[in-house]
Amino acid sequence: MQQAIWVASIAVLVTGAVAVAASDPGYDRVAGRAHASRSEVIAPHAMAATSQPLATQVALDILKAGGSAVDAAIAANATLGLMEPTGNGIGGDLFAIIWDAEKKELVGLNASGRAPRAMTLEYFQKNGIDKIPPFGPLPVSVPGAVDGWFQLHGRYGRLDIKAVLAPAIAYAREGFPVSEVIAHYFKSNKARISHYPGFAETYMPNGDVPKKGEMFKNPRLADTLEAIALKGRDEFYKGDIAKRIDAYMAEQGGLLNYDDLAAHESEWVTPVSTNYRGWDVYELPPNGQGIAALQILNVLEGYDLAAMGFGSAEYIHTFVEAKKLAFEDRAKYYADMDFVDVPVETLISKNYADKRRKFIDESRASNSLPAGDAKLDNGDTIYLTIADADGNMVSLIQSNYRGMGSGMTPGDLGFILQDRAELFALDANHANVVEGGKRPFHTIIPAFVMKDGEPLISFGLMGGAMQPQGHAQIVVNMIDFGMNLQEAGDAARINHTGSSQPTGSTMTDGGVVHLETTFSTETREALEAMGHTLGDSNGSFGGYQAIMWDKEQGVYYGASEVRKDGQAAGY
């Protein structure tokens, strides 16, 4: 009865809102916010924002049971690996930024895996391979996510790992209804990788991938997660799971083996930052692409974006040109810092941005740009953020790359191995050249904002090369265009493709500017007149989640992606 009253009340509210919008030409979509699809979520104790409502509820359950933000993040990630295998899973990598409220410090974790020791430039040259393939056994690097979980849990966890993984295990055994978005991605992944051994047995038990609304179970993954919960991280990297991965990869002709798994360790790192108009925006240093967002913001800080106006051709042109500059450096310099001396401090400095800004023609699109003298796109991902009652916040991103990954589905373990090694270059002179034990260039990046030494926002925006572009747009939307946390993510996005790539290819034609549909015809025509090539409006524009801390009121604000299945919720 109570639920019926609630549904009826919502129907009245929605009907009323539509009526007002139809009768009032000045009506804004949500509470005077022109770009918002819905209001921000506000809660006094804790907040969770993930790309799947059931995973968000799992995170809240863990928090209410006394778990920390990290416990909840691991539980949500494990659940997403089951419910959204089209973007993540324990066969992939993980990065995180954590605000430790007790110690008042910001800490980063690089839980990305390394290339197998046998993965050398000589191997590819000897076998006549001039580009690492996107699927199959060759692009598989060590999966780092499970070690990432245990590193995080060992430092910040409160609940037993068995309790943390229990919700994902239960859903894997009992089943969950597949959402429309994930059903769509299941279908596209089936076309690419369903022929690899193990895929159909795991993800097509009834003869096809699950459809919208269909209950799907993955008892194989349940067994794997249960073994990890009972025996710990070594079960994955040195135990029976590692042995089964080794045997499968040997059968498929892959390079990853038991010794590569056994040698893996994550790395605690210090986040790096730039100050953009009073906000300290933090990213993790390479091998990821996070500092590209900082480079973009540094270049944009030299312009009065607020005066240009959101959606104007002038703003979009300026943004795209700043992105091109950052991505030229991304292609030249970003790589595993254990192997390459990446000049991070120079690349994210204001002086460097001042020099790079001079390459932008304010009235004409560039067809090519040089990388700076600093002296030395295509992936589905999940992003989630959690904040607990003690003020701890976690910004976590995890991915298999290219949707479900390589297609390598070992034995009856219930998951697919990533294909991150595809992003290595096969050029001996390139910073990102393939080498055994080296971490490949990485696209997935978590972000964090501090202000006056206090935590402000934990956020991320998944989606390949869209990620640093999206991070910069979120910050610009809030600071320059006055949007709130939800509106900043809902506002139409820009995605420039065709920049130089970390594998060594270069931009020679200016690339393509993809704009979401709500940008005006006038703006599009003005951009084309400047020399920009416009692409379709149905491309990849990423997936956003965010939590903001309001110190004055002592409450959390949550926001979630309108383009996907996401949910922000608190208590």
CB 299 within 8 A of CB 325: yes
Q: What is the pLDDT of residue 48?
A: 98
pLDDT at 475: 98
Residues linked to residue 267 through DSSP beta bridges, in sequence order: 110
222 Rama sector, left if φ>0, alpha if ψ -120 to 50, beta otherwise: alpha
The DSSP call for residue 30 is: B
Closest by Cα among 431, 447, 429, 468 to 341:
431
Q: At what angle do helices 145-156 and 69-83 cross, to 10 degrees?
A: 160
- Asked if 334 and 289 touch (Cβ cutoff 8 Å), the reply is yes
Which amino acid, one-letter code, is at 449? Answer: V
Report pLDDT for 367: 83
Q: How many CB atoms lie within 10 A of CB 362?
A: 10
Query: Does the annotation mark 381 as catalytic?
Result: yes
Length of the chain: 571
Looking at residue 526, its pLDDT comes to 97
Task: Give the H or E element holding residue 571.
Answer: none
For 265, other C-beta atoms within 10 Å of its C-beta total 11
Is 510:556 a contact under the CB 8 Å cutoff?
no
**Neighbouring residues of 59: CB distance < 8 A, sequence distance ≥ 6:** 48, 50, 72, 73, 75, 76, 384, 386
C-alpha span between 243 and 241 (Å, rounded):
5
Is residue 336 exposed (0-12), middle (13-18) or buried (19+ Cβ within 10 Å)?
buried
Task: Tell me phi and psi for residue 183, to 5 degrees.
Answer: -60, -40
Q: Strand, coil or helix: what is 79? A: helix
Tally of CB atoms within 10 A around 524: 17
Assign 357 to helix, strand or coil.
helix
Rounded CA gap, 424 and 437, in Å?
12
- Note down pLDDT in tens along the chain; length 571 residues: 333 323 333 333 333 333 333 333 333 556 668 888 889 999 999 999 999 999 999 999 999 999 999 999 999 999 999 999 999 999 999 999 999 999 999 999 999 999 999 999 999 999 999 999 999 999 999 999 999 999 999 999 999 999 999 999 999 999 999 999 999 999 999 999 999 999 999 999 999 999 999 999 999 999 999 999 999 999 999 999 999 999 999 999 999 999 999 999 999 999 999 999 999 999 999 999 999 999 999 999 999 999 999 999 999 999 999 999 999 999 999 999 999 999 999 999 999 999 999 999 999 998 877 675 543 344 568 899 999 999 999 999 999 998 899 999 999 999 999 999 999 999 999 999 999 999 999 999 999 999 999 999 999 998 889 999 999 999 999 999 999 999 999 999 999 998 777 776 666 688 999 999 999 999 999 999 999 999 988 768 989 999 999 999 999 999 999 888 899 999 9
Nearest to residue 441, comparing CAs of 374, 501, 493, 361? 501
Given this model, what pLDDT does residue 381 score?
A: 80
| H helix intervals, 157-288 | 161-174, 180-193, 199-203, 219-231, 233-237, 240-252, 258-262
Characterize 407-432 residue by residue with b for buried, 16 or more Cβ atoms within 10 angstroms of its Cβ, and e for exposed.
Answer: bbbbbebbbbbbbbbbbbbbeeebbb
pLDDT score of 372: 56
The secondary structure of the chain in percent helix, strand, coil, rounded to multiples of 5, reads: 40, 20, 45
Whole-angstrom distance, CA of residue 35 vs CA of residue 492: 8
- 383 neighbors 338 (Cβ within 8 angstroms): no
What element of type H or E holds 47? strand 47-50
- For the chain, what is the radius of gyration of the CA atoms? 23
CA distance 192 to 331: 27
Please tell me which residue in 381, 385, 443, 497 is annotated as part of the active site: 381
Contact 228, 235 (CB under 8 A): yes
Closest CA to 396 of 94, 151, 67: 94
Q: Indicate the residue type of 384.
A: L
The angle, 0 to 180 degrees and rounded to 10, between the axes of the packed helices 69-83 and 53-64 is 150
Asked if 179 contacts 565 with a C-beta cutoff of 8 angstroms, the reply is yes
Dihedral of the alpha carbons of 438, 114, 117, 411, in degrees to the nearest 10: -160
Torsional sign, CA 478, 484, 487, 489: positive
Task: Tell me which H or E stretch contains 528.
Answer: helix 521-529
| Distant-in-sequence, close-in-space partners of 476: CB < 8 Å, separation ≥ 6 | 297, 300, 305, 319
CB 281 within 8 A of CB 458: no
- Residue 423: DSSP 8-state: G
The two three-digit tokens of residue 509, written as one number: 């034609």
Residue 221's closest CA among 234, 238, 205, 206? 205
Q: What is the model's pLDDT at position 568? A: 97
